[in-house]
A and B are shown apart, each in its own frame.
Chain A
Amino acid sequence: MNKKAIAIKCAKAAFIGLVLLLLYAPILLLAVYSFMDTDVIGTSGGFSFTHYRALFTDDKVLAMIGNTFSLALAAAALSTVLGTLGALGIYYSRRRFKATMCAFNRIPIINAEIVTALALAITFVAFGLPKSYFTMLVGHMVICTPFVVLSVMPKLKQMDNSLYEAALDLGASPAKALFRVVLPQIVPGVISGFMLAVTLSLDDYIVTFYTRPSGFETISTYVFNATTRGNAHTASTLASFWALTTIIFVVILIVVISANLAGRKKQKTEVRR
């Protein structure tokens, strides 16, 4: 009986391990080759930082990375403000308006991204708006803001409503009560909404492609174009993206694991109290 239990345990661990191995195989392969002086995976090469050097010295690549991150930060910041205000408005409004807003808020979430993108692109042209940084920013806000609303809403529902009333009774103006009493209670939801908006925007290819001004390249648009319509001189640029993938992966791994270990510790001490 004991032997059987051990065998089952081993089989479970082996299964999990195998799936994880498959999941990480492509990234590990890129990570290994990012340290070699070859542009083609599978060919042998010596250890070198060529791809890392190329990544940090190629102006074109640096511009793309800058574009991607500045767009993500701008879209996330605007989405967070809009979405937090939206969530507050929805929370305090009457039932019918609340239900309508929640339903509309879900449209960009469940919709296929390509449908959202095409609809926006055609609408911009139909209303005489040429594609610009503004249209692209709006496109990113359309995909990010609903998630901000969804992450702020639960915090509003958990909130103690009497505190706001108390603040008003004590002479605070509604605006002051909102800033000093309501906002601090929903801050965790606002922060996670912002983080989510950043990752959604960073990840996006389709909406960017349909709404961007001409000549504007992000990491996604460049890599997609280079791989599907690749030619010889994009090979070395693509190889420098192996280095970028490796860096992003390591940073994410460190951030995610450490944030969670820290978060769990905090939760535990709170429970103990």
Chain B
Amino acid sequence: MTEAPRVATTSWGRVARSASHVAEPAYLDDLGPAVRAGATPALAHGLGRSYGDVCLNDGGRLLRTGRLDRIMAADWSTGVVRAEAGLTIGGLLAVAVPRGWFVPVTPGTKFVTLGGAVANDVHGKNHHGAGTFGCHVRAIGLMRSDGAVLKIGPEARPHLFAATVGGLGLTGLIAWVEIQLQPVASSDFEVQTSRLGDLDAFFRVAGESHAWPYTVAWVDCLASGRKLGRGLFSRGRHAADGALVPHAEAARLKVPRDAPSALLGPATVRLFNAAYSRQPATGETRRVPYGKFLYPLDGITDWNKLYGGRGFFQHQSVVPMAAAPRALQALLELTSSEGQGSFLVVLKLFGPRPSPGILSFPREGATFALDLPNRGPDTLRLLGRMAEVVLEAGGRLYPAKDATMSADQFRAGFPRWREVESYRDPGISSDFWRRVTGDRP
């Protein structure tokens, strides 16, 4: 097998870059030989929607999984689906929704592969009830670089399963995933949006909204003083009746090239201010298609280019509930005084349902996410100070979003990381893993 030339690859944030030998296995029988072949470590790469370097492998090999998008078996009477790792959540919804089934958990984009959803144990607006994606995984097909092909699950090899869910693709090539879908009566959501005057209001409304399966808040990261933490709270549920219509395939808009990075900040804040002032204290219930509620940015192809050629970072963290009010206040004070946040802060309360993965990011508490355009050292300094606030509160940073945390910060947030290291496939590694564990190739 001839080694492919190195291809420059970047992730969604467009800051982290690497050069890797890229292969694109088209069938599962290609995947085993692909992970075994080669002197350098391999790493699966789905759609590259993680923001930093968990999906990159500089100097090694990337196995792109996009062609492995077949459904292997589906029982539409029970909602159990087994599919190759490269099938996207959007691709699955297109087939499942007309049959009355929905993914149990989805992140804020449908352009995520099932393999990536497992490897990063993704969460969504329904975490407070449904937990993470991994809570709904029944089985995983894992191909190891020694040639072993394993079927793992909560009962079959449970430790390897726990290391694989949220395990950043390091325990073997995830070949397929079997999940339990949730039944839905309609493809629409019923959504209520209400105004939040300050951070206290967020905690109050989130606490009152537990009966709503999907909740999220957007907060103005530039507001300060008495307005600190003002925002919009959105809650939704699957409509109880109606048509079962999948999302439209085509994106409506496309960002053709890098935008001047100054464009996004003031523009989004103005849009937000307009929406905020129009919003009554508690809104009426509206009915919207799921794509509009769950995937508002998917209609804009390559929206990451709006941040300009230098790319952007995302800070996403979670802090335990007891420390959350103070920590969130401190994070908002940092972003508003620095004036660097270009987008809105996303806040959400995570629920108590434990994640099955050893390295899973979500835990009970409050999560805070913010995009920051890359302005060099100032941005890195701000990210560092935010990380300090989070760790001091006993929280942690989300590897799938991270490009900057130190090895110490990683180990403090994920004290059980060595267990995953012990299950790591010796033929697999990533830029992220080398960065936070100090394992140089």
A binds B: no
